[in-house]
Chain A
């Protein structure tokens, strides 16, 4: 039996709907037989009538309604059709959900699923990775699962968390990533995972970039470099301790992310390591992000825009030679 990343998300939602009557799914095209633009809810509307609801194209109202429902005790999952469209709901997510507990002491247990990242030909408005924006504002948890197992357990955990969770699922991984089975328990959010142990260089990554980093580590192993690869799993909270411990082992750091270069996850990791682990660094820490332009449409341009294994390898080799 083989299960894809997308199927894991669907299974998690099925389990949530089954086990918790407070859960409902709210989003565009999620209901009926259609089951979502990416089939993440296929079959669920039928199995759980009245709990998988199609919304109008109203991202602001989708999240606003979720907030209201959460205040009244429900555990809504909002599916954004593409992460890129969540910008319409930015106000509700950042200013309403994100501030509510701090202002009123009443937490808002909503989960907003963002299909993130690019696939060839998706273009500037169907490819974005917005984890950096959401992590920047206080009051939100931001998850970035990179594996089939994490996709499953972290979504279940997201709904259980009393605070708003932005769950960034990567579209490229939907059908490309497969696992043999789903775990019954997962590692709690807030803990990064050492995906590959090493001693010469630490690559910190998350989501789809994890797999690029692992490919690079494999390649460089053939050149006798042992690269340690860390999967952050969640970018907020960010597991600084695991990163520091790794840099303590290797002395060299490369951060790789798919979002735009200014600020963001890679900058945050490096800022923390520079501040708390300066004495651990044997070379200046480096990072690699997408280019500082909107995401291009043409597959050639798209694959040049985002970090890929070739770019990561080049950067890693340069850092290893320092």
Chain B
């Protein structure tokens, strides 16, 4: 009696293999046409495999929980001549080519071992000793082919833009097809050109984010500032007090704003601090030069000018360059705290949240008293300064803010 092979079927586009999850028959069992004899699982679903024809199970050659490629032989059904012949007609036709050698299905294909790289691996100091460490395989999730790179350059994409793509290539890398499909889908959504400011901010934030950024925070009593400002004319906002406090604190410990570039610590001689100013289509950050020498009153005047310039979109790149720290008063938007991102060429960003009346424990009175409190955060580049240093700086800023006469 002829033995008809049970073949792993093609279970879907791009499915290469499946795992045996249930064997429903054993040798000797009679099976009817189209009876399900195995269950297999792919990364999409569990599916049944049916017998090729009616007959008797001769053998099952596969194991439970093992994975086999599409086209693999899973077992044999002993069938009558007539039934076996039917199977032969239904089976996909062999390629009728005299010229071509027989091309087996993937079942017969051994996985050829990747040719071992004959290049000796170098130990860690290779780069310094003059030789470069040799990557073992040019593969992996982050491998970007020349084509991908060229396409990205053409469209001015960065790896951040590819975050939304799940790669289908080896090691889940993004193939050019993945990228083109992704772009195609975007086209079908509404898209418009980003403004220059949007792309500029995006680029700055991307560059800033390449550093390990951290944020610490505390609360500050705003009542002294709120009271102090009543006696000033013009009235500076709390953000300007914060700028002044930061400037004075940095004047005391300028090292806190030093930048690590490579293995050099670079320090600016001038305490130039930026202040975030909202323009129509984005935030501008003009820099106040020598802020520790600029009085609060002058700061207030300057700020007013800057608001006007921002409105007229006349804050130039020069005006925004060269600062060592920035203050962002997002409290004006009602936000209480945040983790702002320092500008890419700076290492510190002081964020001031909205003040609100909260009960605060008064140790002397042994009761809760109301006070206006705001969350004040300091984001920093952790390569250049540690939490301790940042904390000390923030503490000093808070001290100065709570004694506004000193500002």
Which A residues form the contact surface with B (CB < 8 A)?
172-173, 176-177, 208, 211-212, 214-216, 218-219, 222-224, 251, 278-284, 303, 308-310, 313-314, 317-318, 321-322
Residues in chain B near residue A172, CB distance under 8 A: 99
Interface residue ranges of B115-149 to A (CB < 8 Å): 138-139, 145-149
Contacts of A308 in B (CB 8 A): 100-101
Given contacts A212-B100, A310-B101, contact A282 B147 (CB under 8 A): yes
Contact A284 B138 (CB under 8 A): yes
List 9 additional A-B contacts (Cβ < 8 Å) besides A176-B98, A215-B103, A313-B109.
A172-B99, A212-B99, A216-B100, A282-B146, A314-B109, A314-B112, A317-B109, A321-B170, A322-B139
Question: Chain B residues with Cβ under 8 A from A303's Cβ?
Answer: 101
Q: Judging by beta carbons under 8 Å apart, are A224 and B14 in contact?
A: yes
Contact B101 A212 (CB under 8 A): yes
Q: Tell me if A317 and B106 are in contact (CB < 8 A).
A: yes
A282 close to B145 (CB less than 8 A): yes
Q: Are A310 and B104 in contact (CB under 8 A)?
A: yes
Contact indicator B150/A279 (Cβ below 8 Å): yes
Bound form: Cα–Cα A211–B138 in Å = 32
Whether B66 is near chain A, meaning CB under 8 Å from some CB there, is: no
Beta-carbon contact of B99 and A176 below 8 Å: yes
Min CB distance A273 to B, Å, is 11
Which chain B residue shows the least CB distance to A314? B109
A68 to chain B, nearest CB (A): 40
B100 lies within 8 A of A211 (CB):
yes
B92 within 8 A of A: yes
User: Counting CB contacts under 8 A, is B169 at the interface?
Assistant: yes
**B74-108 with Cβ < 8 A to chain A:** 92, 95, 97-104, 106
Contact A309 B148 (CB under 8 A): no
- Among residues of A, the one whose C-beta sits closest to the C-beta of B102 is A310
8 smallest beta-carbon distances between A and B, as pairs: A279-B150, A215-B100, A308-B101, A282-B176, A211-B99, A282-B147, A309-B100, A282-B145
List, in ascending order, chain A residues with CB within 8 A of B13's CB: 224
Counting CB contacts under 8 A, is B221 at the interface? Answer: no
Q: For B150, what are the chain A residues with a Cβ–Cβ distance below 8 Å?
A: 278-280
Let me know if B175 is at the binding interface, CB within 8 A: yes
List chain A residues, Cβ under 8 A from B14: 224
Main secondary structure of the interface of A (DSSP, over half): helix
Which residues of B have CB within 8 Å of A176?
98-99
Expressed in whole angstroms, the Cα–Cα distance for A137 and B100 within the complex equals 32
Which residue of B98, B102, B147, B170 is within 8 Å of A251 (Cβ)? B147
CB distance from A196 to the nearest CB of B (A): 14
From B10, B97, B101, name the one whose CB has the most chain A CB atoms within 10 angstroms: B101
B99 x A281 contact (CB < 8 A): no
Cβ–Cβ < 8 Å partners of A321 in chain B: 169-170
Is A309's CB under 8 angstroms from B106's CB?
no
Q: How many residues of B contact A (CB 8 A)?
A: 30
Contact A322 B170 (CB under 8 A): yes
B146 and A279 contact, CB distance less than 8 A: yes
Whose C-beta in chain B lies nearest to the C-beta of A247? Answer: B147
Chain B contacts of A283 at CB under 8 A? Answer: 145, 169
* Other-chain residue from A173, A251, A309 in contact with B103 (beta carbon distance below 8 A): A309
A314 to B103 alpha-carbon distance, docked (Å): 10
Q: What are 9 A-B pairs at a CB distance below 8 A?
A: A214-B100, A215-B99, A223-B10, A224-B13, A251-B175, A282-B145, A282-B148, A282-B177, A322-B175
A222 to B145 alpha-carbon distance, docked (Å): 27
Interface string of B135-178 (1 = CB under 8 A from A): 00011000001111110000000000000000001100001110
Q: Please report the C-alpha to C-alpha distance between residue A303 and residue B150 in the assembled complex, in whole angstroms.
A: 40
Closest to A224 in B: B13
Q: Which A residues touch B170, using CB under 8 A?
A: 321-322
Name the residue in A172, A211, A219, A282 with the highest tally of chain B Cβ atoms < 10 Å from its Cβ: A282
Q: Given A251-B176, A282-B176, is A208 in contact with B103 using a C-beta cutoff of 8 Å?
A: no
* Contact assessment for A218 and B95 in the assembled complex, using a CB-CB cutoff below 8 Å: yes
Contact pick for B97, options A211, A222, A314, CB 8 Å: A211
Contacts of A215 in B (CB 8 A): 95, 97, 99-100, 103
CB contact list, B203-245 vs A, under 8 A: none
> Which residues of A have CB within 8 Å of B145?
251, 281-283
State which of B100, B101, B146 has its C-beta within 8 Å of the C-beta of A278: B146
Bound complex: CA A222 to CA B10 (Å) = 10
| Distance A321 CA – B173 CA, assembled complex (angstroms) | 11
A172 CA / B101 CA spacing, docked (Å): 13
Cα A322 to Cα B177 with chains together (Å):
12
CB distance from A170 to the nearest CB of B (A): 10
**Chain A residues within 8 Å of B139, by CB:** 322
Q: B179's closest neighbor in chain A, by CB? A: A282
Q: For the complex, give the distance between the alpha carbons of A223 and B10 in Å.
A: 8
Q: Give complex CA distance A284, B95 in Å.
A: 30
Q: How far is the CB of A151 from chain B (nearest CB, A)?
A: 15
CB-defined contacts of A211 to chain B, threshold 8 Å: 97, 99-100
**B176 touching A208 by the CB < 8 A rule?**
no
Q: Mark B311-343, 1 if CB is under 8 A from A, else 0.
A: 000000000000000000000000000000000
- Across the interface, B99 reaches (CB within 8 A) one of A177, A279, A284, namely A177
Q: Give CA–CA (A212, B112) in the complex, Å.
A: 20
- Per the bound structure, the CA–CA distance linking A281 and B138 in Å amounts to 14
Q: Chain A residues near B148: list those with CB within 8 A.
A: 282
Contacts of B149 in A (CB 8 A): 279
CB distance from A77 to the nearest CB of B (A): 27
Separation of A308 and B176 alpha carbons in the complex (Å): 29
B70 — nearest CB in chain A belongs to which residue? A223
Give Cα A1 to B248, complex, Å.
100
Q: A219 with B95: in contact, given A279-B150, A309-B100, A310-B102 (CB under 8 Å)?
A: yes
Q: Write out the residue numbers on chain B whose beta carbons fall within 8 Å of the beta carbon of A284.
A: 138
